Structure 1
Amino acid sequence: MATIRSFRAYRPRPDVAGRVAALPYDVYNRQEAEIEVKREPLSFLKVDRAETSFGPDVDTYAPCVYDKAGQLLQGMIDDGTYIMERRPVYYIYELIMDGRHQTGLVACSSIDDYMNGVIKKHENTREDKEIDRIKHVEACGAQTGPIFLAYRAIDKVDEIIDRVKKGDKLYGFTSPDGITHNVWIIDGQEDIDTIRAAFEGVDDIYIADGHHRAASAVKAGIHMREKNPGYTGDEEFNYFLSVLFPHDQLMIMPYNRVVKDLNGHDKQEFMDEVSKIFDVTASDVPVEPQVKGQVGMYMDGSWYRLDVREGIVPDDVVGRLDVSVLQDNVLAPILGIQDPRTDQRIMFVGGIRGLAELERLVDGGMAVAFSMYPTSITELFDIADAGLLMPPKSTWFEPKLRSGIFIHKID
Structure 2
Amino acid sequence: MTKILPFKAVRPAPAYAGLVASRSYEDYGEEELRAQLEFNPYSFLHIINPGYKFQHEIGGEKRFGMVKNRYLEFKEENTLIQDEQPCYYIYNIKTREASCCGIIAATSVEDYEKDVIRRHEDTIAHREELFKEYLKVVGFNTEPVLLTYPDNTVINDLLQERMKTRPEYEFATNNKETHSLWLIDDPANIERIKAEFAAMEKLYIADGHHRSASSWLLAKESRENNPDHTGKESYNYFMSYLISESNLRIFEFSRLIKDLNGHSKEEFLILLDEWFRIENRGLEVYKPSKKHHFNMYLDGEFYSLYLRKTNYEFTDALSELDSYILYEKILKPVLGINDLRYDKRIAYIHGRNDLIELKTRVDTGEFRIGFGMMPAGIEEIKQIADENLTMPPKSTYIEPKLRSGLTIYEF
TM-score normalised to the size of structure 1? Answer: 0.94
Distance 1:51 1:306, change over 3 A: farther
CA contact (8 A) 2:255 2:370 kept: yes
1:328 is displaced (CA, Å) by: 0.8
Q: For structure 1, which segment, 361-370 or 28-37, has the greater mean C-alpha deviation from structure 2 after superposition?
A: 28-37
Distance 1:384 1:72, change over 3 A: same
One-letter amino acid of the structure 2 residue matched with residue 48 of structure 1:
I
Which runs of structure 2 are paired with 1:353-364 in the superposition (5 Å)? 353-364=353-364
Distance 1:371 1:201, change over 3 A: same
1:40 is displaced (CA, Å) by: 3.1
CA distance in structure 1 between the aligned counterparts of 2:42 and 2:157, rounded to whole angstroms: 36
Q: Does 1:162 align with 2:154?
A: no
Q: Does 1:102 align with 2:100?
A: yes
The equivalent of 1:241 in structure 2 is 239
1:290 is displaced (CA, Å) by: 1.6
One-letter amino acid of the structure 2 residue matched with residue 288 of structure 1:
K
State the Cα RMSD in Å.
1.8
1:226 is displaced (CA, Å) by: 2.8
Which runs of structure 2 are paired with 1:245-284 in the superposition (5 Å)? 245-283=243-281, 284=283
Distance 1:295 1:165, change over 3 A: same
Which runs of structure 2 are paired with 1:150-299 in the superposition (5 Å)? 150-283=148-281, 284-299=283-298
The equivalent of 2:20 in structure 1 is 20
CA distance in structure 1 between the aligned counterparts of 2:242 and 2:185, rounded to whole angstroms: 17
One-letter amino acid of the structure 1 residue matched with residue 208 of structure 2:
G
CA contact (8 A) 1:313 1:325 kept: no
One-letter amino acid of the structure 2 residue matched with residue 279 of structure 1:
R
1:258 partner SS = strand
2:354 partner SS = helix
The equivalent of 1:322 in structure 2 is 322
CA distance in structure 2 between the aligned counterparts of 1:350 and 1:55, rounded to whole angstroms: 33
The equivalent of 1:350 in structure 2 is 350
The C-alpha deviation readout for 1:170-204, integer Å capped at 9, x for no partner, is 11112222222111111111110011111111121
The C-alpha deviation readout for 1:116-170, integer Å capped at 9, x for no partner, is 1111111111123223322322222111111111111222211211111111111
One-letter amino acid of the structure 2 residue matched with residue 318 of structure 1:
L
Q: For structure 1, which segment, 171-180 or 68-77, has the greater mean C-alpha deviation from structure 2 after superposition?
A: 171-180
CA distance in structure 2 between the aligned counterparts of 1:347 and 1:285, rounded to whole angstroms: 23
Q: For structure 1, which segment, 169-178 or 111-120, has the greater mean C-alpha deviation from structure 2 after superposition?
A: 169-178
1:313 is displaced (CA, Å) by: 5.4
The equivalent of 1:74 in structure 2 is 72
One-letter amino acid of the structure 2 residue matched with residue 247 of structure 1:
E
Distance 1:384 1:39, change over 3 A: farther
CA distance in structure 1 between the aligned counterparts of 2:306 and 2:39, rounded to whole angstroms: 46
Distance 1:217 1:37, change over 3 A: farther
CA contact (8 A) 1:143 1:408 kept: yes
TM-score normalised to the size of structure 2? Answer: 0.94
CA distance in structure 1 between the aligned counterparts of 2:35 and 2:62, rounded to whole angstroms: 21
One-letter amino acid of the structure 2 residue matched with residue 381 of structure 1:
K
CA contact (8 A) 1:30 1:52 kept: no
Unaligned runs of 5+ in 1: none
2:400 partner SS = coil
1:102 partner SS = strand
Distance 1:123 1:173, change over 3 A: same
Unaligned runs of 5+ in 2: none
1:294 is displaced (CA, Å) by: 1.5
CA contact (8 A) 1:21 1:43 kept: yes
CA distance in structure 1 between the aligned counterparts of 2:393 and 2:51, rounded to whole angstroms: 28
